[in-house]
Amino acid sequence: MNIAELFKFKKTVYSLEVFPPKKAGSIETVYNTLYGLRGLPVDYISVTYGAGGSEQQRQKTCEIASLIKKEYGIEPVSHLTCVGSTREELRGILTELKNAGIQNILALRGDMPAEGPVSMAFPHASDLAGFIREEDSYFNVTGACYPECHVDAANIDEDIENLKKKVDAGVTQLTTQLFFDNEIFYRFREKVEKAGINVPISAGIMPIVRKSQVERTVAMCGASIPTRFARLISKYSESPEALNQAGLSYCVDQITDLVANDVRGVHLYTMNSVDTARYVTAATESLFKSVNKA
């Protein structure tokens, strides 16, 4: 199923993200995660591609996405990065995805390798989106966006101008980088609409349940920490159980507010944690049911 259709008939779509384990040979861990997630009321599950990982890990994306579809009957979205890739390499991956029945692709640039990319055939995600659209109309192409501005962009206005190029290249839906401050998302959504970008945007939400996650996540994506959230982290940072509870509650509050403010989608970064995904899904399920039946 083309997930663009989901966004046409649902007011708010709910999705999850999983990733292939970094270590070769530990693929079972994500299979266990998927088994643990079975039966949850989710509209689709996306699978990351090679983020900081090996070639072997990249190959697992298609395998995991295929399992999500065939074994669990849930629509998968396969992430795909283009930086450093050649047209032939990407053509090969598209064939593999199509043969596995995977129709939805999150087209990404990927992070620039420190030593510079081997090939500059695809400098931006918009180039990949355009390439996929030209190669085969079977695929539905989605993209990423950054409410707090991508690190490489001079400012948010420039970043949104570039985002428009990605949408003009054929991206039908966007998912945001994680954020903790909904007001930043609402301001971004307004700017994006003013720029003439009309595709649905899903809010990427990550529950923070461990102290180590805070520093790592902020360092990786530069998300702002609002005062209310900073207080929770500092208050409970020495008590793992309390921090877990406070982090989950914050995440549920964030989603509650987003749904009340007509967000088109919530995409939960599960970090492959079954407990976290189950908790957040159970605590927010009635919100999605309520807006989608209205």
Least Å from the CB of residue 151 to ligand FAD: 7
User: Is the Cβ of residue 244 or residue 264 nearer to ligand FAD in the bound state?
Assistant: 264
How far is the C-alpha of 167 from the C-alpha of 173, rounded, in Å?
8
Least Å from the CB of residue 95 to ligand FAD: 20
- Could you tell me if 164 and 196 are in contact, meaning their C-beta atoms sit under 8 angstroms apart? yes
Is 17 one of the annotated active-site residues of the chain?
Answer: yes
Residues in a beta bridge with 143: 174
User: Is the Cβ of residue 106 or residue 232 nearer to ligand FAD in the bound state?
Assistant: 106
User: Is the Cβ of residue 177 or residue 182 nearer to ligand FAD in the bound state?
Assistant: 177
3-class SS of residue 115: coil
User: Is the Cβ of residue 69 or residue 267 nearer to ligand FAD in the bound state?
Assistant: 267
Q: Which residues are at the interface with ligand FAD (CB under 6 A)? A: 48-51, 79, 81, 108-111, 124-126, 144, 150, 152-153, 159, 162, 165-166, 175, 177, 204
Residues near 225 by Cβ (< 8 Å), separated by ≥ 6? 180, 181, 214, 218, 233
User: CA-CA distances (angstroms) from residue 233 to 13, 73, 103, 218?
Assistant: 29, 38, 40, 13
DSSP code for 124:
S
Least Å from the CB of residue 97 to ligand FAD: 14
Residues near 257 by Cβ (< 8 Å), separated by ≥ 6? 182
Least Å from the CB of residue 162 to ligand FAD: 3
Length of the chain in terms of residues written: 294
Catalytic annotation, pick one of 5, 17, 55, 238? 17
Q: Active-site residues: which are they?
A: 17
